[in-house]
Amino acid sequence: MPQHQGARLVLSQGQAAAILLLPFLTIYAVFLVYPFFKGVWISLHDWNLMAVAFNPDAKAYVGLSNYERVMWGSNITWGAWASPAFQFIGLAGAVASAWLYRTGRAGKVTALAMGGAALLLFVLPGFHPGEGGRWYDRRFWPTVGNTILFVGLAVPGVTITAMLLAAALDGETRAKAVLRTLFFLSQVLSVTVVTLIWQIMFSPRQGLIANLTQLFGGSPIVWLTAEGFAMASIVIATIWWSLGIAMILFLAGIQDISKDLYEAGALDNATGAKAFWYITLPNLKRTITLVVVLQIILHFQVFGQSHLMTNGGPNDTTQVLVRYIYQTAFRDSELGRASAMAVFLFVIMGGFSILQFVLGREKDQ
């Protein structure tokens, strides 16, 4: 390279940085920053998709009324026992995080984050329409609740299954490698292939599961259209689909655990399940946090499973936030309302991202 030295050295660090940064920053500004603010701007308008396309002036500034019409209602009051289940969990969580902090089992930031989230869980479900009042949009909050329920089922499902599999499949033998491949395989399928397979799997007449139950003389479960099973169905399909990456991350985490620990454990008779409980699990804390937060962010954006397998039904029990946004925007043409919901989604996701960031930093300290 010597012959080029003279010419290239003219670039200062700043100039080189500018050249290297410019492509990304341009794309970032045009395709993310600007659209984000435009989204907020749209959410402040009464904006009909079709009408505006035919006449750009057919939109009207309405301030925050889209937010009010989506999230608020008439005569909304607050009660400590309006939604006991959620609120009790919230309260218990707040107490638990205070206790964890007091006893030194959790750091300050972790305790604050957990406590804050728990308090929100206590406060938010407490709002309800009072006498003669009602939500302006009856479906919005139940939709948010369904999304949280989906996350609450899918994330532990994926995390626990993936962790157990990773612990069992860690090792260099050929059999284990083959099994790892098998469990990872479904991860590369596209969401529409997954929904296609599971839609048919769950069908009460054509489905494999129904065929199997009939073989044993049972009557088939109508998975996708029965209230109690519809959500379970899309969660099962999701776990089947997205286990792979979590398992890989756990395998990496397990391989990082020093072999000496296991050898020392073996001397104390800690092998197999015992070793998993006393050695693997405590040393996987960081990986677990990483996997859980990644999965929360991923699954909060669930769309295809609900859209293709259950159409959000029955009775809206599998209607999720992103599908509601999509329908409001492209079926009902109400971009303003849809954007208001999208901003809400952003606030939630942003909260989790900050949590992820904070937890990550605390571990580094």
Partner 1 sequence: MKHVILGATALTLLATSAVAQEVTLGRFFGDCEDAGTDTSASVGEACIIQSIINAADAEIDGLSINTLPTDWGNYYDQIVAAYAGGTPPNVHVMHRHRVPEFANIGALADLTDDLEGAGIDPSDWEPAALEAVTYNERIVGVPMDIHANLWHVNMDLMEAAGLVEDGAPILPSSPEEMLEHARMVQEATGQDYLAADFAEFPIGVRVALALIWQQGANIFEGDTATIDTEETRNAISAITQLFDAGLSNPQLNYADSQQAFLNGEAAVLVNGTWVVDFYAAEAARDDEGLNSYFVADFPTLFDEGATWADSHMWAIPSPVKANDPDTYATALQVLAFINDHNLDWARTGHMAVRTSVLESAEYAALPHREEYTGTADIARDTPPSVRYGAIQDALNRELQAIWLTGKSVDAALADAQSDVQDLLDR
Partner 2 sequence: MNRSYYWLIFGLSVPAFIWLVPTVWMVSLSFQPNELLARTTSSTALGLIPIPFTPDNYIALFRFGQVPMWFLNSLIVSVGMTLAVLAVSTTAGYALARLEFPLKTPIIILCLMGLMVPEQAVFIPLYTMFADWGWHNSHHALIMPRVAVPIGVFLMLQFFKAIPKDIEEAARIDGVGWLQIFWYVMLPLARPAMMTLAILTFLYAWNDYLWPLVSAQQREYFTITLGLASIQANFAQAEGLGRVMASGVVASLPVVVLFLIFQRYVVRAMTAGGTKG
Applying CB under 8 A, which residues contact partner 1?
Answer: 48-55, 58, 134, 136, 138, 203-206, 222, 224-227, 308, 311, 313-317, 326-327, 330-333
Nearest residue (CB) to partner 2, 231 versus 338: 338
Q: What would the two tokens of residue 59 be? A: 């939109």
Nearest residue (CB) to partner 1, 24 versus 54: 54
- Least CB distance from residue 240 to partner 2, whole Å? 7
Nearest residue (CB) to partner 1, 214 versus 333: 333
Contact flag: residue 252 with partner 2 (CB under 8 A): yes
Q: Out of 179, 221, 232, 257, point to the residue binding partner 2 (CB under 8 A).
A: 179
Contact flag: residue 222 with partner 2 (CB under 8 A): no
- Least CB distance from residue 141 to partner 1, whole Å? 14
Q: Out of 134, 138, 176, 361, point to the residue binding partner 2 (CB under 8 A).
A: 176
Euclidean distance between CA atoms 336 and 347, whole angstroms = 17
Q: Per-residue DSSP letters for 289-318?
A: HHHHHHHHHHHHT--HHIIIIITT-STTTT
Euclidean distance between CA atoms 81 and 160, whole angstroms = 32
Euclidean distance between CA atoms 191 and 241, whole angstroms = 8
Q: Out of 112, 197, 261, 270, point to the residue binding partner 2 (CB under 8 A).
A: 197
83 and 89 Cβ atoms separated by less than 8 Å: no
In angstroms and rounded to an integer, the radius of gyration of the C-alpha atoms of the chain is: 25
Nearest residue (CB) to partner 1, 73 versus 157: 73
Q: What would the two tokens of residue 64 be? A: 């925050």
State the DSSP H helix or E strand holding residue 187, giving kind and residue range, or none if neither: none
Helix axes 227-256, 285-300, angle to 10 degrees: 140
Among the listed residues 225, 224, 241, 227, the one whose alpha carbon sits nearest the alpha carbon of residue 302: 241
The listed partner (partner 2, partner 1, none) that binds 274, CB under 5 to 8 Å by sort, is none
- Least CB distance from residue 177 to partner 2, whole Å? 9
Among the listed residues 146, 239, 243, 161, the one whose alpha carbon sits nearest the alpha carbon of residue 198: 239
* Cβ-proximal residues to 231 (8 Å cutoff; 6+ apart), any chain: 146, 149, 150, 153, 317, 318
The footprint of partner 2 on residues 257-316 (CB under 8 A) is 272, 287, 290, 297, 300-301, 303-304, 308
Binding letters toward partner 2, positions 14-53, x by CB under 8 A: x-xxxxxx-xxx-xx-xxxxxxx-xx--x---------xx
Euclidean distance between CA atoms 173 and 178, whole angstroms = 9
Could you tell me which stretch among 68-76, 94-102, 109-117, 321-329 binds partner 2 (CB under 8 A)? 321-329
Q: What is the DSSP letter of 127?
A: E
Binding letters toward partner 2, positions 67-86, x by CB under 8 A: --------------------
Could you tell me which stretch among 61-69, 131-139, 194-202, 226-234 binds partner 2 (CB under 8 A)? 194-202
Residue 228's Cβ-side half-sphere holds a number of Cα atoms within 13 Å equal to: 1
Count of chain residues binding partner 2 (CB under 8 A):
100
